[in-house]
Amino acid sequence: MIVSRVMTKNPVFVEPELSINEARALMAKEKVGHLPVLKRGRFGDRQSDRVGDRLVGLVTKADLIKAGPSPATSLDMYEISYLLSQMQVKEVMVKDVITVAENEVVEEAARIMADRKIGCLPVMRDDLLVGIITDSDLFRVFVRAFGARRKGVRITLSMNEQIGQLARFAGAVAARGGNIVSFVTSEGDDLSRFKGTCKIERLSRAEVEEAAKEVPGAQIEDIRE
């Protein structure tokens, strides 16, 4: 699955000169926690300079909260509101924005977000912002990948790292009339084994357990309906 299939297209954005108060209000209205910051200008290489909206930053709800005064401030609410109305997004935004291409795979976007400890990635088509992918988008991918909305028997098997292990299990399930609606693999406790978690329809728990027994060396780590 690639990023363009799961991203939010045409995301809400702001300009650098927008006030902090206006950015907060926009986030609340649109129910978003991240706003790309675009600036109108000329960009591109020397042979193809063009005028358009260029990504110059990213502002998050956390950035806007940090921009406010300390809870210990002696300012009253009117003074605080006035100060925030004078501050602009460009003063608090992240300027070195980490982005991802629209044709990148979802797991690479997830890896970047996990490694960098960030909650979103603006999605680019060359110099053009075409979307944004957030941790919420990745949660939805996770739900679909594990078939969480489908009924059936969920089983996690620990299997030997050998050619044909998955084929043996899938064949055993099919021979009993079962239908695998999701299958996710992950690393095992050591390099000699791996784990497979799947959701199976049309079979009982007992039938799935019998299918697992046809895989040499396989161990059931978890099974539930």
Domains by residue range for the chain, with CATH: 3-143 (3.10.580.10), 146-224 (3.30.70.260)
For residue 213, pLDDT beyond 90: yes
What burial class does residue 215 get, using C-beta atoms within 10 Å of its C-beta: 0-12 exposed, 13-18 middle, 19+ buried?
Answer: buried
Q: Can you tell me the mean pLDDT for 54-82?
A: 73
Looking at residue 173, its pLDDT comes to 98
For residue 8, pLDDT beyond 70: yes
Looking at residue 73, its pLDDT comes to 54
Looking at residue 216, its pLDDT comes to 95
- Express as a percent the part of the chain with pLDDT over 70: 87
Look at 108 and 71; give whichever has higher pLDDT. 108
For residue 161, pLDDT beyond 50: yes
Average pLDDT score over the chain: 89
For residue 168, pLDDT beyond 70: yes
Looking at residue 41, its pLDDT comes to 67
For residue 50, pLDDT beyond 70: no
Are 84 and 153 in contact, with CB atoms under 8 Å apart?
A: no
Looking at residue 51, its pLDDT comes to 47
Q: pLDDT tens, 114-154?
A: 999 999 999 999 989 999 999 999 999 999 999 999 999 99
Highest mean pLDDT among 35-44, 49-58, 87-96: 87-96
Report the predicted TM-score, pTM, of the whole model to 2 decimal places. 0.80
Nearest Cα neighbor of 21 from 58, 72, 64, 76 is 64
For residue 179, pLDDT beyond 70: yes
